[in-house]
Structure 1
Amino acid sequence: MSMSFGKSLAGSVLALAAASAAQADVPQVATDIAPVHGLVARVMDGLGEPALVVQPGASPHSYSMRPSEARALEQSDAVFWIGAELEPWLEESIDTLASDALVVELLGVDGITTLEFREGATFEAHDHEHGDEPHADHDHDHASEEHAAHDHADETAHDDHDHADEASHEGEKHDGHDHGDEEHDHEGEDHAGHDHAGHSHEGVDPHAWLDPENAKTWLDVIAEDLAELDPENAETYRANATAGREEIDAAMADVETMLSTADDVSFVVFHDAYHYFENRFGISAAGAISLSDATDPSPARVEEVRDTIRDLGVACVFAEPQFNQDLVATVSDGTDVQAAVIDPLGFELEMGPDFYPELIRSIGDSIASCTSSS
């Protein structure tokens, strides 16, 4: 072996070792749902990849973790999740398995827009009464904030929005999880607006990731948190967040173009998950078959949605891949309404740094395509 070759080989080994050491210093990150995973993946692009707890195709409202997902929480240095309003079942697991990690509940981040739950099967009266006004928290400098304040794992229980008794829909199977044995008791339902007796639907709607402006705020929060955990790569996190914000702006512009002729077309969604998207882009669903937490609707609610479809000449009814699509057929029966699929979690999209802008585009495209063909 020549001396020059030996030096070259030694240099390569040292470079690989340095790269491995840098990679080893990147925080281990866990995320709850695919849209949050996409945002974190954008910030970590080129450095590492976060783990995903709720697998694509499953409902975050009720889920049973696999051992590998529990292990990802246990090994995490940071956890980014929407919050207990969306995933009440996950709060205890984070408390137990990720007690030493930085835990960031994104729904509690200052500076985002939050919206209240909508009531009833149809939204026109509710939106008119409440003005459908968003509630934006005051701006704050996240970079100077003490990061311990982000750890919401010890927050008090959300008494007004307790989903502990929530159940999955009959016969659903997601990635090997059979939820068909879980039961939901509909006895004592109040059909005058709240479908489930003793189950309050007051408070903040947790589907805040469907407002792209919220996602842009979260990118900066994620970048600053990871920069504090990993100062050597701080500038990369921040640069990635800036690029991610620009990509979301481009996606928003595309969606505004897609929906430019859809503002006067009525549509109904499977469950009330799209309030943030509607509010941001100036459109409004006529109603939802199921509540925001995707619990099974009462017969009275199904009948009310069916009447809405007929009375308002609703153009489209959107199913979701995570839930019972037979209900869409039920409310559409006897009408000329178009049926299509829309997905707030991006089940068919490729995971990774480009996920979130593509999610926003896919929702806009689904609404625009269905309404324009009606």
Structure 2
Amino acid sequence: MQHTSKNTKWLNRMVLASTFLACIATQASAAVLTSTKPLGFIASAITEGVIPTEVLLPDGASPHDYALRPSDVQRLRSADLVIWIGPDMESFLTKPLNNIDEKKKIALSGLNSVKPLLSKGTDDDHDHEHEHAQDNAHQHADNEEHNHDHGDYDMHIWMSPEIAKQSAIAIHDKLLELMPQNKDKLDANLRKFEQDLEQTKEKIVNIMQPLQGKGYFVFHDAYGYFEKAFGLRQSGHFTVNPEIQPGAQRLHNIRTQLVEHKAECVFAEPQFQPAVINAVAKGTDVRTGILDPLGSNITLGKDSYIQFLTQLSQQFTDCLE
């Protein structure tokens, strides 16, 4: 009898221990998961003090051509909310997200508040495609696929402060549905984000004022929304898809413009610093700078999107001033 009693106690302890571990595991998996880091910046401002925000893509990975691992699929399934741009930018997520409940995901580019704010892709993308075809038929096929993925609109939507604001509102509203008990904190976070964003925009407008009209080339055509918001105008870009090297004709055209002093700066990126940029700028008095479109050195937190915009404005200023 005593032996049976000991067994029962032991079993009860085991049940309690496993329940406790299960609770910990459930808590650990509770998170908002964003496809890329810049979306994580926006989400973090709203989730601060409510639920952790995590990023699916590792640092240095490009949303243009990422291949999901089984562990990534598991993270998508266990997330409380998945935030992505949409199939036109991240086609690799379309299939796995089909199996996720509509209540637990937001495609930002499909929001009714965001659609009217989307810009068309740049006018010379088609010319770039045609010129690239003459250089390399195989790469052209890749580039066509990239443009098909992007659709007609510029999907670098995190570059737009206004789209970031609408995205934050949508994230707030969705989390309010999922966890109404956190209403006060979510409301306060959204208010703070909107106020900080307005103040930061005003500061950047003042910083950018003297740079308006100065010409520059960017490596990857990702900055349209930022440029539009703050009155900058690029002279052109090396490539539409950062995975694909620009063609010889495009490089010749850029080189000609640099020699004719039509630009003051050429920007590379931390993820892509091809020798081609140095080669094109060589022998000219054009400065080279770095723009980081993913904020790779910024840590997720309540102010990270504000830091991202500020850093980008500083990177433009450092080279163009």
Q: Which amino acid aligns with 2:169?
A: D
> What residue is the counterpart of 2:178 in the other structure?
229
Residue 70 of structure 1, aligned match among 53, 63, 73 = 73
> What residue is the counterpart of 1:118 in the other structure?
122
> What residue is the counterpart of 1:291 in the other structure?
240
Contact 2:37 2:57 in 1 (8 A): yes
> What residue is the counterpart of 1:163 in the other structure?
none
* Structure 1 pair 186–295 and aligned structure 2 pair: CA distance change class (3 A): same
Residue 294 of structure 2, aligned match among 340, 345, 349 = 345
Contact 2:30 2:79 in 1 (8 A): yes
Deviation at 1:71, TM superposition (A): 2.4
- C-alpha separation in 1, matches of 2:210 and 2:221: 22
- C-alpha separation in 2, matches of 1:100 and 1:74: 12
> What residue is the counterpart of 1:4 in the other structure?
none
Q: Which amino acid aligns with 2:118?
A: T
Residue 86 of structure 1, aligned match among 85, 89, 93 = 89
What secondary structure sits across from 1:73 in the alignment? helix
Residue 330 of structure 1, aligned match among 275, 279, 299 = 279
Residue 241 of structure 1, aligned match among 190, 202, 222 = 190
What secondary structure sits across from 1:259 in the alignment? helix
* Structure 1 pair 189–73 and aligned structure 2 pair: CA distance change class (3 A): closer
Q: Which has the larger radius of gyration?
A: 2
Contact 2:36 2:57 in 1 (8 A): yes
What secondary structure sits across from 1:296 in the alignment? coil
Q: Deviations over 1:176-199 (max 9, x none)?
A: xxxxxxxxx931778xxx994675
1:186 aligns with 2:131: no
Contact 1:207 1:273 in 2 (8 A): yes
* Structure 1 pair 87–197 and aligned structure 2 pair: CA distance change class (3 A): closer
Residue 31 of structure 2, aligned match among 28, 33, 43 = 28
1:254 aligns with 2:258: no
- C-alpha separation in 1, matches of 2:70 and 2:138: 37
Residue 271 of structure 1, aligned match among 216, 220, 226 = 220
Q: Which amino acid aligns with 1:186?
A: N
TM-score, length-normalised on structure 1?
0.70
Q: Which amino acid aligns with 1:49?
A: P
- C-alpha separation in 2, matches of 1:121 and 1:197: 10
Q: Deviations over 1:201-244 (max 9, x none)?
A: 75011011111011111111100000001111122112211111
> What residue is the counterpart of 1:208 in the other structure?
157
- C-alpha separation in 2, matches of 1:299 and 1:195: 17
User: Larger % of helix: which?
Assistant: 2
- C-alpha separation in 2, matches of 1:269 and 1:52: 26
> What residue is the counterpart of 2:169 in the other structure?
220
* Structure 1 pair 347–188 and aligned structure 2 pair: CA distance change class (3 A): closer
Contact 2:204 2:310 in 1 (8 A): yes
Q: Deviations over 1:30-53 (max 9, x none)?
A: 101111111111111012212211
Contact 1:122 1:305 in 2 (8 A): no
Q: Deviations over 1:340-367 (max 9, x none)?
A: 1101110111222211111101111111
Which structure 1 residue ranges, 5 or more long, are not aligned?
A: 1-16, 124-184
TM-score, length-normalised on structure 2?
0.81
- C-alpha separation in 2, matches of 1:31 and 1:295: 25
* Structure 1 pair 86–293 and aligned structure 2 pair: CA distance change class (3 A): farther
> What residue is the counterpart of 2:263 in the other structure?
314
Between the two proteins, what is the percent identity of the paired residues?
27
Which structure 2 residue ranges, 5 or more long, are not aligned?
A: 1-19, 128-134
> What residue is the counterpart of 1:108 in the other structure?
110
* Structure 1 pair 107–121 and aligned structure 2 pair: CA distance change class (3 A): closer
How many residues align structurally? 288
* Structure 1 pair 91–186 and aligned structure 2 pair: CA distance change class (3 A): farther
- C-alpha separation in 2, matches of 1:53 and 1:25: 16
1:363 aligns with 2:319: no
> What residue is the counterpart of 1:166 in the other structure?
none
Q: Deviations over 1:154-191 (max 9, x none)?
A: xxxxxxxxxxxxxxxxxxxxxxxxxxxxxxx931778x
